[in-house]
Amino acid sequence: MVKRIAIFGSTGSIGTQALEVIEANPDKFSVEILTAYTNDKLLIEQALKFNPNIVVIADDRKYEIVKDALSNTPIKVFAGEKALNEVALMDSYDLMLAAIVGYAGFQPTFNAIEAGKPVALANKETLVVAGDIVMQKAFEKRVPVIPVDSEHSAIFQCLVGEGRNKIEKIILTASGGPFLGKKPNFLVNVKRDHALQHPNWAMGAKITIDSATLMNKGLEMIEAKWLFSLHPDQIQVMIHPQSIIHSMVQFEDGSIKAQMGLPDMKLPIQYALAFPQRLPNQFPRYDFKKPSTLNFEEPDLRTFRNLVLATEALYKGGNMPCILNAANEIAVYAFLRNKIGFLDITAVIEKTMEKIKFIEKPVLTDYFESDAEARQYAASLIQL
């Protein structure tokens, strides 16, 4: 059976790599829906090549351009945020790849689960913002949420076959990003172009900055809590600069399972799309005969304070991770536009976490409001 895939965020780093996986496995996957934010050119190119039934361009100013370019095809074209959310509810696809970046990915992903569609989840922010509600909904609808994030894919793969065996803890590995070993006196002068140079992974701009500040690992701790029903004490972060071990699970008997391989997102993407199957591929293999060392060290929490803030949010729960995420998004985009310095990102998040009202048991609308308030407050700090 051919799985019909809906790629939300098809023009991004994850989206384009997913299309490579699909292209290599035409007997397994077809493309049903493609969506993009503003990149009309790439969306059109992808649509002509993969022939989906539907494309959505979220930026509705681009509607005419996309519509005209696809007018000789049967492809239906929609535009705007509302269309994005509605298309996610449609019946015509089998699995959503949630590859939009940031909070913008929340509603379409939530709608897919609501509609009973399995989700391959790259968009970690969805679980950071409202993990309790999202996972509860997935449970109610009996919808699998299959992680795409490499660390979570690693843990997921380690858990296959373990049934009810209990996890003692997980060890989330982190590359450390481009500023591993650096101190605040160095980081204070860091500029966007330097922060965008990740040693091991080529990714979208937002997650690349999150990797440089270690916020990415903080978001991933929260993501792991929800995906694997963990207590915060069960989540340990270790720096592993080579990114060969993608994460580990330690069981109650002390046995540790690790998932390894070269850093290549196509592997966790393919695993999530094809789960529970593994598909053959030609991706480069890790070679034990080539001299290399695998190192592990503890993160430098005095320097990379975003990880401390995220850990605080993880323990505090309620709407705190949502506030953290909103402030982080605002701060990261401000940093990318050279409006604030690298260390200011942490300051903006910390102040926003102090300012916005804490809600212990939020309902969905509380999350929407906390997100909006946190964004507004974080933005007000930056304009000053």
Which residues contact Mg ion by CB under 5 A? Answer: 149-151
Binding piece for ligand NAD, criterion CB under 6 A, among 13-21, 289-297, 302-310, 337-345: 13-21
CA atoms within 13 A on the CB side of 207: 23
CB atoms within 10 A of CB 338: 10
325 CB burial (10 A radius; 0-12, 13-18, 19+): buried
Q: Which does 39 bind (CB under 5 to 8 A by kind): Mg ion, ligand NAD, none?
A: ligand NAD
Name the minimum Å distance from CB 372 to Mg ion: 27
Q: Which does 12 bind (CB under 5 to 8 A by kind): Mg ion, ligand NAD, none?
A: ligand NAD
The residue from 122, 167, 258, 327 that contacts ligand NAD (CB under 6 A) is 122
Nearer to ligand NAD, 127 or 238 (CB): 127
Residues numbered 18-77 forming contacts with ligand NAD, rule: CB under 6 A: 36-37, 39, 58
Strands 76-79 and 54-57: parallel
Site string for ligand NAD, 146-165 (x = CB under 6 A): ---x----------------
The amino acid present at 246, given as its one-letter code, is H
SS3 for 95?
Answer: strand
CA 247/CA 245 separation, integer angstroms: 6
Name the minimum Å distance from CB 360 to ligand NAD: 26
The residue from 70, 77, 100, 129 that contacts ligand NAD (CB under 6 A) is 100
85 binds ligand NAD (CB under 6 A): no
Question: String of b and e for 287-313 (b: at least 16 CB within 10 Å)?
Answer: eeeeeeeeeeeebbeebbbbbbbbbeb
Listed in sequence order, the residues at least 6 apart from 16 whose beta carbon sits closer than 8 Å to its beta carbon are 10, 42
CA 345/CA 348 separation, integer angstroms: 5
Binding piece for ligand NAD, criterion CB under 6 A, among 169-177, 184-192, 203-211, 270-278: 203-211
Q: Can you spell out the DSSP letters for 228-292?
A: TT--GGGEEEEE-TT--EEEEEEETTS-EEEEE--S-THHHHHHHHHTT------PPPP-TTS--
Specify the residue for token string 């002068």: 189
The residue from 62, 117, 124, 375 that contacts ligand NAD (CB under 6 A) is 124
223 binds ligand NAD (CB under 6 A): no
- Collect contacts of 193-199 with beta carbons under 8 A, ≥24 apart: 195/335, 195/342, 199/175, 199/241
Name the minimum Å distance from CB 100 to Mg ion: 16
Question: Is residue 234 a contact partner of residue 170, using CB atoms and an 8 Å limit?
Answer: yes
CA 81/CA 65 separation, integer angstroms: 17
Binding piece for ligand NAD, criterion CB under 6 A, among 8-16, 85-93, 225-233, 291-299: 8-16
Nearer to Mg ion, 44 or 212 (CB): 212
Nearer to Mg ion, 263 or 318 (CB): 263
Name the minimum Å distance from CB 264 to ligand NAD: 10
Intra-chain end-to-end CA distance of the chain, in Å: 57
104 binds ligand NAD (CB under 6 A): yes
Nearer to Mg ion, 87 or 219 (CB): 219
**233 is an annotated ligand-binding site residue:** no
Q: Which residues bind ligand NAD (CB under 6 A)?
A: 9-15, 36-37, 39, 58, 84, 99-101, 104, 122-125, 149, 201, 203-204, 206-207, 265
Residue ranges of the binding site = 11-14, 39, 123-125, 149-151, 175, 198, 204, 211, 216-217, 220
Query: Binding site for Mn(2+), residues?
Result: 149, 151, 220
Binding residues for NADPH: 11-14, 39, 123, 125, 204
Q: Show binding-site residues for 1-deoxy-D-xylulose 5-phosphate.
A: 124, 150-151, 175, 198, 211, 216-217, 220
